[in-house]
A and B are shown apart, each in its own frame.
Chain A
Amino acid sequence: MKEPSRSAKIGLYAALCVICPLTLLPLAWMLSSSLKLDKDVFTIPIQWIPAIPQWGNYIKIWEKIPLGVFTFNTFKLTIIITLIQLFTCSFAAYGFSKCRFKGRDALFLCYVATIAIPWQVYMLPQYTMMNKMHLVDSHMSLILLHSFSAFGVFLMRQFMVSIPNELLEAARIDGLNEYGIYARIILPLSKPALASLSIFTFVTIWNDFMGPMIYLNTTEKKTIQVGIRMFISQYSAEYGLIMAASILSLVPVFTLFIAFQRFFVEGVATSGLKG
């Protein structure tokens, strides 16, 4: 692409310097409010940098709710689900992209079609089923709910299709069977897609609100999202603390995003372009 002219550049910078901060404004306001006393949160004009930052908000919040337990639960669920997804999705994607058999494409279409079905269509039967299995109010229910994602299979398959089949043929001649090819050739080559999938799953599960809200009742089992939601409804006027809790819940995801931005972008692009 041609470099834009000097004046176009300045205009573009100016526009971006307005739009981007505007987009981030709600998050900046959250950060700023998290360091204020409740009575100062809504003062006008907005004091973006509080005169006396209330770092204490970030300590008090741990005493008000079992934030440590919530964080631990969320990490536990997120890690387990991400690992199961990485395995089952990449395994299935290999079957869908590199093995040839009757009915393969029909089955894959069936997978893709379910991505389009809103979760709300089947959340109730799913719930009654979990109830029958006595899994309601357990972490197991959420693990089973989220571990077999059609989206994950789709994302991995789209990536694997682009790996040239000649590589596999060469390995077959060398005597590797299909499982060997999957483990020793395809998996190492799929690292970018695996990274994208891990990050997407991590963010989805970390931010999941509906699942834990429907399935978890016991406070000790709750995740950070429902935990914070509980706090918000109990202490609705403690703005500073609410904002501090919200900021804390965003930290892991934002850290991940900043560290692995490339894979986010690539994941969005692969799932979007070759569809």
Chain B
Amino acid sequence: MQKKAFGLETRETLVGLSFILPNFIGFAVFILAPVLFSFYLSVNSWDGFRPMEFVGLDNFVQIFKDRVFKRAMVNTLQFSVFTIVFTLVASLALAMMLNQKLKGIAIFRSAIFFPYVASIVAVAVVWNMLFQKDYGPINAFLRFLGMVNPPGWTASTKYALPAVIIVVIWKNMGYYMVIYLAALQGIPPELHEAAMIDGASAIDRFRHVTLPMLTPTTFFTVMMLTINSFKVFDLIYAMTEGGPGQATTLIVNYIYNQAFVSWNYGKASAASMVLFALVATVTIIQFRMEKKWVSYM
């Protein structure tokens, strides 16, 4: 090569950057810049047309006074805790069952993964019909089981959030099941064999071999589930639009409404910042706690 003008290190850097650049330009302009702009918007008052006005922390004061935002915070926490715990348990249980040498196991695995690739719109419309209060199949079944007053699901303020949580778990458990399945297959069989020779029962082996070996995966899964649970918007929007009342309004729904319904960009961005801070805090806490329970072999 004739480019002697550059030192080897500079050249290596330039080549490296040239690979990253095509993606990075788009990434910087369409993702990084908006993230930073969001910080700026949160301390301004703007409707998208008139000039921006600096208001300091006023947007934050306003949203924390807003009853709807407080409700959205509570809903988000409830929604996250339930989806994280139940998806984790369901996906691990399914992975344990599907990690067996059985004929046709691949078909069962696909069946569980199927809902994950189904579109939100189709999923929302079919579940809404299944949950229909008076003539929906789910309540028909509950009545058949002898329940006199089955829940109103998406039509009731009390049961709308549980209904949405059920659908989210149903849709995503297959994804995490696949992650657990891969992790289970990575556990050396010798460990189980050794434990068996020592007379450990199946339950003992699950508690003292499988679970500890899975902790890195569980850590990753909990992280992903947490982050993703803060992002769920489409499904709720398509199923209930945050209602009835504010029963299923999460922080993300609040952001959407402030931004694209009320055109209150400042308040929307302040709420985004709260969401961002929430995700960051939870992530940092999880990383801090990692050493206490995750064992890497």
A residues in contact (CB < 8 Å) with B: 1-4, 9, 12-13, 15-16, 19-21, 23-24, 26-27, 29-30, 33, 41-42, 44, 46, 87-89, 91-92, 94-96, 99-102, 104, 107, 110-111, 114-129, 131, 144-145, 147-148, 150, 153, 177-178, 182, 203, 206-207, 209-210, 214, 225, 228-229, 232, 239, 242-243, 246-247, 249-250, 253-254, 257-258, 261, 264-265, 268-269, 272-273, 275
Q: Which of B32, B121, B230, B272 has the most CB of A within 10 A?
A: B121
User: Nearest CB to that of B219 among chain A residues?
Assistant: A275
Q: Which of B100, B136, B221 has the most CB of A within 10 A?
A: B100
User: Nearest CB to that of B31 among chain A residues?
Assistant: A114
B13 adjacent to A101 (CB under 8 Å)? yes
| Distance between Cα atoms of A269 and B180 in the complex (Å) | 8
Contacting residues, chain A, for B121 (C-beta < 8 A)? 209, 225, 228-229, 232, 246, 249
B26 adjacent to A242 (CB under 8 Å)? no
Pick from B122, B179, B186: contact of A250, CB under 8 Å? B122
Q: Nearest 6 A-B pairs (CB), nearest first? A: A95-B19, A148-B26, A99-B16, A269-B182, A246-B122, A272-B179
In the assembled complex, 18 residue pairs joining A and B whose CB atoms fall closer than 8 Å, in A order, are: A1-B100, A12-B100, A23-B174, A27-B114, A88-B23, A95-B18, A114-B31, A118-B231, A125-B34, A125-B37, A148-B27, A150-B27, A232-B121, A249-B121, A264-B117, A272-B221, A273-B182, A275-B220
| Further pairs besides A88-B22, A92-B20: 11, Cβ < 8 Å | A19-B112, A24-B114, A42-B132, A88-B23, A95-B20, A121-B272, A125-B34, A148-B26, A206-B119, A257-B110, A257-B117
| Distance between Cα atoms of A239 and B217 in the complex (Å) | 42
User: Nearest CB to that of B109 among chain A residues?
Assistant: A265
User: Nearest Cβ distance between residue A131 and chain B, in whole angstroms?
Assistant: 7
User: Nearest CB to that of A262 among chain B residues?
Assistant: B106
User: Nearest Cβ distance between residue A118 and chain B, in whole angstroms?
Assistant: 4
Contacting residues, chain A, for B179 (C-beta < 8 A)? 268-269, 272-273
Pick from B26, B32, B113: contact of A88, CB under 8 Å? B26
Asked if A147 meets B26 with Cβ closer than 8 Å, knowing A91-B19, A229-B238, the reply is: yes
Contacting residues, chain A, for B106 (C-beta < 8 A)? 261
Pick from B117, B178, B255: contact of A269, CB under 8 Å? B178
B23 adjacent to A12 (CB under 8 Å)? no
**Size bracket, chain B contacts:** 35 or more
Contacting residues, chain A, for B125 (C-beta < 8 A)? 232, 242-243, 246
B279 adjacent to A250 (CB under 8 Å)? no
A101 adjacent to B111 (CB under 8 Å)? no
Q: Mark B5-41, 1 if CB is under 8 A from A, else 0.
A: 0000100110111111011111100111111011001
- Interface assignment of B294: CB less than 8 Å from any CB of chain A: no
Pick from B17, B181, B273: contact of A101, CB under 8 Å? B17
Majority SS at the chain B contact face: helix
Q: Within B243-284, which residues are at the interface with A (CB < 8 Å)?
A: 251-252, 255-256, 259-260, 265, 268-269, 272-273, 275-276, 279, 283
Q: Within B216-236, which residues are at the interface with A (CB < 8 Å)?
A: 217, 220-221, 224, 227, 230-231, 233-234
Contacting residues, chain B, for A96 (C-beta < 8 A)? 19-20
- Interface assignment of B189: CB less than 8 Å from any CB of chain A: yes
Contacting residues, chain B, for A29 (C-beta < 8 A)? 126, 130, 137
Q: Which of B20, B41, B227 has the most CB of A within 10 A?
A: B20
A121 adjacent to B38 (CB under 8 Å)? yes
| Distance between Cα atoms of A269 and B179 in the complex (Å) | 5
